[in-house]
Chain A
Amino acid sequence: MTADTIGRGGVRRGGRALPPAVSTDKLPESRRRRFRWQPAWLFMAPSLLILGVFVIWPILVSFWYSLHNWTIGATDQPWVGLGNYVTLFKDPQFWNALGNTLEFTVASVILLVVLGFLTAVALMGEGLVSRIFRSTYFFPTIVSLTSIGLVWKFMLDPSIGLVAGITQFFGAAPIGWLQSTTLALPAVIFVAVWKNVGFTMIIFLAGLKGVPQERYEAAQLDGANRRQLVRYVTLPSIRPTILFATIILTIQSLQVFDLVYVMTGGGPIFTTDTLVTQIFRDGFVNFQTGYASAISWVLFAVIMAISAILLRVFRYNDVD
C-alpha cells in the first residue's frame, strides 16, 4: 500500500479504516510520510515567525503580566494571581469605561449597518451620479482617524468652530459638543459613523450585487411587493454579508481608541473613556502594566463573547 492510497484521517480511500492503536514509531516508512517535513512550512515560516514573535508571544506574555503587579523595568514583579482581575471588577473607572465602550459599539454598529445598507441600496446603480456619491461616501474611510478626529474637534469647537458658527448664524447658542458630559459620546459616535459608513456601504454593495437576479424575478412572479422583496429575498441572501459587516464593525468599535483619544482624551470627566483609553492610561501613563494587561484580557473575552453571540444570531438554519 502506498501513501497515496491513504486519505486524510488515515482512512483508506476505499473507505475501510486502518487498524486501530498502532504505535507511530512502529509504522512502516510509508505510513509515516504524513508527519514528515513539507516544503510548505518553509514558505509559511516567515509569516509564522512574525506572527509568533509579534502577535502570539505578546498575547501570552500579556496574560502573564496580568497575573503580576507588573511594572516595565522593575526588578521585582510581585505575583498577584487573579488580584488584578478582582481589583478591576471593583474599579468604577473600569465599569464606566466598559459601559461607554458597549454604548459606543451598540450605537455605532447599528447605525453603520442600517445606514450602510440603505446607502448601498440607494447607490447600486452604475450611473455617473451613483459612482460619484459612492466615491464621496467612501472617501473618509481612507483618511486616518487621527486627522478626522482633529478636523471634527476643530469644527465642533463651541467658540471658533464651523458648527458653532452655523448655529450662531441661525440665532442659536453655540453648543460645547465635546465639553458636554452628555453630548461628548454621541458626538464621537457620530464622527465614527460618518467615517465608516462608506466602508460599510462598499461591503453591502458587494453583497447586494451577488444576489442572483432570478430570485427577485421568481419572487415577483409570486406577487411579492418591494418591501417583501427586501424582507424575503435581499436580507436572507446577504446574511453572510450582514454577519461579516457586523462582526468586523463590532470588533473595531470595541477597540475604539484613536478617535476618542484625539477628540476628547476620554473626557470630560471620563464620559467618553473606553476600555482601550483606560488600558493606555494605566499602561503607559500610570505604569501599571499588569493591571492594563488584565483589562486587555477582559476586553478580549468581551470581544470573543459578543462575536460568538453574533455568529449564533446570524447563523443559517442548519447550514453553518
Chain B
Amino acid sequence: MKRKIPLIIGTVGVMLALAACSGASPSGQSGGKVTLTVWTGFTGGDRPGYAQIVKDFNASQSKIKVVMDVEPWDTIQQKLPSAWLTGQGPDLAAPSSDPNVIAQYVKTNSVLPITDTGSGASQIDVSNIAPALIKEFTYSNKLYAVPANYATLSLYYNKTEFAAAGIATAPTTLAEFQADAQKLTLGGGTKQYGLALADNATIQMWPILQWMSGGDIVDATGCSVLQTPAGQNSLKTWSDLVVNNKIAPVGLTGAEADSLFSAGKAAMEMNGPWAAPGFKSAGINLGIAKIPVGVSGPVTLGSTAPLAISAKTKYPQQAQQFLAYYTSKAVQKKFSLATGFPPIRTDLATDPQLLADPIISVFASQVADARLYLPHLTNATQVDANGYVPLIGQITRGKSVATQTAAIAKTINALTGCSS
C-alpha cells in the first residue's frame, strides 16, 4: 500500500490540474445575481454600440449581469458548436454574421426556442420587429433567434473624385451608376477605379448588381436561375464592365475593397453602416446615397446577424429577459443613433430623430426594399462558398458567363436539393 501512495497522490494531482485547466463557462449565480455570458463577433466600428447595450442593461437592474466576449467570427465558428454541445459555451451568442447559419444550430438542437414574446415590458416584442427578420430565424413555427442588428447597404462615394470627374451628384439609376463607374475609372484602373467591388470574404455586393439588373441567384424553390437569360444578362453587363472597362479590380475581399476606397483609389463602394467611421477617419470627402434604382425598382441587400440562446443555458428566462431589453424600442433607438444602423423595429421607422440623422436616414430608407441573401435556403453557406463566389471569380476573369452559369447551376441545384 505504501508503494501506491505516491501513485494515488500523483493521479489526484494530475486530475486536479486538468480540472483547473478546463474552460468552464463564467456564467453562473453568485449573491443572488445571475451572470449571463454572450459571445459575439462584432469587432468593427459598431462594437461600442453593442457594448453600450450590455452596459445599460447591467445598470438597469440588479438581478442579472451580462458579460459580452467579442472575438472574430472565425474563432466563434470554430468554438461554438462544440462549446454549446458540451454545455461549456455561453448562454447567448451571435454564432455568425451569416444569418443562414442558425439553421444548422436548429438542426443540432443547440439553440433554445424563444417563447417569452409579447408586448409586455419584459417580453420580446416580436410584432414590432421587421417581419423578414423574424421569418429568417423561424423554423417549424418556432423563433430561434432575434436580430442582433439589421443593416442595409448604401452607396458610399468620394465627393472630391466625383467633382474632379465633373459629376455633380451620386447616381440614382442603373444607367447612371454604370456610366459613372466608367467615367470615374482613370488610367484603366491604374490611377483610380470607379467602384471598389469585393467578391469574396465580404458582405455580398454582387447580388445587388444582379438584382438591380433584373437577375437573381435562386428562385423560391431553391433552384438556380443564374443560367436563365435574365440571370446571365444581369451578370454579363457587370462582368463586361469589370473585364473590359476595368471599373473595379478583380478578386477583392471586403477588407481590400474598404482599403481601396479609404485610400482614395476607388470612387464608389457599396457597404453597410459599419464602414462609415473608418471611411471618415481615413479623411475621405464622404457622400452616402441610396443604391441606384434598378430595372425593377429600388433594391439593396439586407443583412442581419442572429442572437440566440443556448439550449443548455441554466438561465433561459433571464436570457430571454436580456433579449427583450436588447430589442426594446428605446434601446434600439439609442443603438441606431450610436452606430448608424437602421432600427430592427418597424415602430422606429418614422422616428423623427432617426430620420433627421443624415446617415441613418439613408440606410433606414432602404429597409423596405432590402432583400436578404439566400434566405432559408438549404446549404446556403455552401451555395455561397462553392457556387456563387467561384462563379463571380471566373466571370470577372474573362470566362464565359453562359458556360460558367450552366456549370454552377448544377452545383447549386445539387446543394439545395432542387429537382426541377
Give Cα A140–Cα B397 distance, bound, in whole angstroms: 34
Q: Is A265 an interface residue (CB 8 A)?
A: yes
If over half of B's interface residues share one DSSP class (helix, strand or loop), that class is named, otherwise mixed; here it is helix
Tell me the chain A residues, 262-314 only, with Cβ under 8 Å from chain B: 265, 267-270, 281, 284-287
Instruction: Note all chain B residues with C-beta closer than 8 A to A39.
Output: 6
- The answer, yes or no, to whether B28 is at the interface (CB within 8 Å) is no
Identify the stretch in B11-19, B57-65, B286-294, B330-338 within 8 Å (CB) of chain A at 4 or more residues: B11-19
A176-B190 in contact given A37-B3, A74-B108, A267-B393 (Cβ < 8 Å): no
* A45 & B390 in contact (Cβ 8 Å cutoff): no
Determine if A49 is an interface residue (Cβ-Cβ < 8 Å). yes
Give 1 or 0 for each of B372-385: 1 = CB within 8 Å of chain A CB. 00000001011001
User: Whose C-beta in chain A lies nearest to the C-beta of B8?
Assistant: A42
Asked whether B82 lies within 8 Å of A269 as measured between CB atoms, the reply is no
In this complex, the interface size class of chain A, counting residues with CB under 8 Å from chain B, is 35 or more
Q: Are A181 and B397 in contact (CB under 8 A)?
A: yes
Q: Does A75 contact B (CB under 8 A)?
A: yes
Which single residue of chain A is at the shortest CB-CB distance from B264? A160
Bound together, the chains give a CA A285 to CA B200 distance in angstroms of 15
Contacts of A157 in B (CB 8 A): 256, 259
0 or 1 for each of A29-47: is its CB under 8 Å from B? (1 = yes)? 0000000010101100110
Given A42-B10, A49-B14, A74-B107: A168 and B385 interface contact (C-beta under 8 Å):
no
A168: contacting residue among B190, B201, B397, CB under 8 A: B190
A110 part of interface (Cβ distance < 8 Å): no
B85 touches A73 (CB 8 A): yes
A269 to B18, alpha carbons, bound, how many Å?
Answer: 43
B263 at the interface (CB under 8 A from A): yes
Determine whether the beta carbon of A160 is less than 8 Å from that of B265: yes
- B109 near A269 with CB under 8 A, answer no
Cβ-based interface call for B115 (8 A): no
Complexed CA–CA distance, A174 and B265 (Å): 13
Name the residue of chain A whose CB is nearest to the CB of B391. A269
Interface string of A158-182 (1 = CB under 8 A from B): 1110000000100001101011110
Q: Which of B136-144, B164-172, B245-253, B340-348 contacts A (4 or more CB under 8 A)?
A: B245-253
Q: For residues 70 through 89 of chain B, which have their beta carbon under 8 Å from a beta carbon of chain A?
A: 77-78, 81-82, 84-85
Q: Give 29 CB contacts A-B under 8 Å.
A: A37-B4, A42-B10, A50-B18, A71-B107, A71-B108, A72-B85, A72-B108, A73-B81, A73-B82, A73-B85, A73-B105, A73-B110, A159-B259, A159-B263, A159-B265, A160-B265, A181-B397, A265-B200, A265-B253, A267-B393, A268-B200, A268-B250, A268-B397, A269-B394, A285-B381, A285-B385, A286-B381, A286-B385, A287-B104
- Those 9 A-B pairs whose CB atoms lie nearest each other, nearest first: A73-B108, A179-B251, A269-B393, A72-B81, A73-B85, A268-B251, A42-B10, A160-B263, A159-B265
